[in-house]
A and B are shown apart, each in its own frame.
Chain A
Amino acid sequence: MPVTRLLYPLYQLGNPQLRIFRPNWFLTLVRPGKEQPPDTAQFRIPMEMTKCDVKNYLEKIYNVPVGAVRTRIQFGSNKKRNHLSQKVKQPDYKVAYVQLAQGQTFTFPDIFPEKDRTAAEGSVEEMQEKFLEDEKQKQKPDPRRGGVTEWFGL
């Protein structure tokens, strides 16, 4: 990680507002597992972030009007064991449910739609596809036998 154990200055009443330049926090927008209201977006955030941090982050960097933010910490399982019977811990992460203001709605889009991929003419991929098709065709049984397998003699 580029920033080594940041130490934020101590806050006491009357201190100036803490400003963070070049924040080292990265959010991940995830598809909700359970059905969420239409104005809610679900994020995975680093453990050090708070609700206010998330609100400011989205408003300042992404210009998204944020209404309310609720967070919870998801425990990563410690149950699985590897080939040495050692317990393997899945990392814990914090989840933030962000409700958008101004009546905006958000649905998680389909990022991997089925696309017709035809290889370019005269390219290596096209030759490979053709070769595989020929091989598959060779494996097919003789159509003149009308579906009857080779097990039956004649």
Chain B
Amino acid sequence: MAASSSAGRVLTLCKQFQNVLRISSAINTPHCAANFTKYQPHVYRGKSPLAALSWSTPTSYLGQCRALHTTISRRGLEEFFDLPENWGETSVKSGAPWTAKQLRTKSNEDLHKLWYVLLKEKNMLLTLEQEAKRQRVQMPSPERLRKVERSIIRLETVVTERETALRLLQTGQEKGRPGDWRKNTFGYVYWYRFKEYAIPWYMNKRYKRKKFYTPKFVEPHIRLRLEKHIREKARKASLKKKTLAKLMEKFPQMKVSAP
């Protein structure tokens, strides 16, 4: 049961690898099987199975090899829960979260699959958390949730990095969503991101109510705001100068670091 379920969790990763993975001889099969069973569902650094699979794929080697057929897991709603042997434990072991550096070494297909692995893991942890609150029991190892969230955030940053790089190369656009620098009613200039509408802007009543200019009567307020800001800056600078002068008086030999 443990082997099948842990294999089931990794098989979502390995579905594509059935075409690439070639088990060359009977000697290698127990080693590969051991790799699959050793994979813990809570190990976020799936480096060992993924790395081993990528190394042991000599695609040119076609002699005596048979493809490993892996079936997709058919466990359905059971995937919302942990492995049955972890039910009732006070703490469950889990590995370190994925770092951005590790994720950048993975291919897009791997990252896509990892996203869904992390998604399912997070769903499982959320159900566990809610059930623990319901039963008024402590959730075992809540840090797993934080680790998964961090991994997801890092995965997203890596994917957006790749997307921006591709977009820059192909079109020269820095941002995926078009936008513009616009002034709002309070005199602040900000990056307004465009939204898709079915009608042009001059027919859009809600859009026309939003003012992208500063009315005349707002200018005195802006002036006052500027004065306040300048006054604050001047106060900070004078405070710095005064403290420095005091220190120099007390300790004339003091070396002053140039700003």
Contact = CB atoms under 8 A, between A and B. Distances in A.
Interface of A: 2-3, 7, 9-10, 12, 21-23, 26-31, 41, 44, 61-64, 104, 106, 109-115, 117
A21 B123 contact: no
A27 B123 contact: yes
B72 A30 contact: no
B152 A62 contact: no
B88 interface: yes
B258 to A, nearest CB: 40
A62 B127 CA distance: 15
Most chain A CB neighbours (cut-off 10 Å) among B80, B152, B193: B80
Interface of A: prevailing SS: loop
B80 A29 contact: yes
A2 B156 contact: yes
B81 interface: yes
B128 interface: yes
B198 A10 contact: yes
Interface of B: 72-74, 76-77, 79-82, 87-90, 112, 115-116, 119-120, 122-123, 126-132, 134-135, 137, 152-153, 155-157, 159, 177, 193, 195-198
A106 B90 CA distance: 26
Contact of B153 (A2, A21, A117): A2
Q: Main SS of chain B's interface residues?
A: helix
Contact of A62 (B76, B81, B82, B157): B76
B129 to A, nearest CB: 8
A41 B77 contact: yes
B79 A111 contact: no
B160 to A, nearest CB: 9
B195 A7 contact: yes
Sorted nearest first, the 7 A-B pairs with minimum C-beta distance are: A2-B156, A115-B88, A10-B196, A28-B126, A2-B153, A29-B127, A29-B80
Nearest to A8: B196
B119 A26 contact: yes
B31 to A, nearest CB: 30
Contact of B81 (A23, A109, A113): A109
Given A2-B153, A41-B77, A115 B89 contact: yes
Contacts of B196: 7, 9-10
Nearest to A22: B115
A30 to B, nearest CB: 5
A116 B123 CA distance: 28
A61 B88 contact: no
B152 A2 contact: yes
A55 to B, nearest CB: 14
Nearest to B115: A22
Residue with the highest number of chain A CB atoms closer than 10 Å, among B77, B90, B122, B157: B77
Contact of B126 (A7, A22, A26, A114): A26
A114 B127 contact: no
Contacts of A23: 119
A34 B169 CA distance: 56
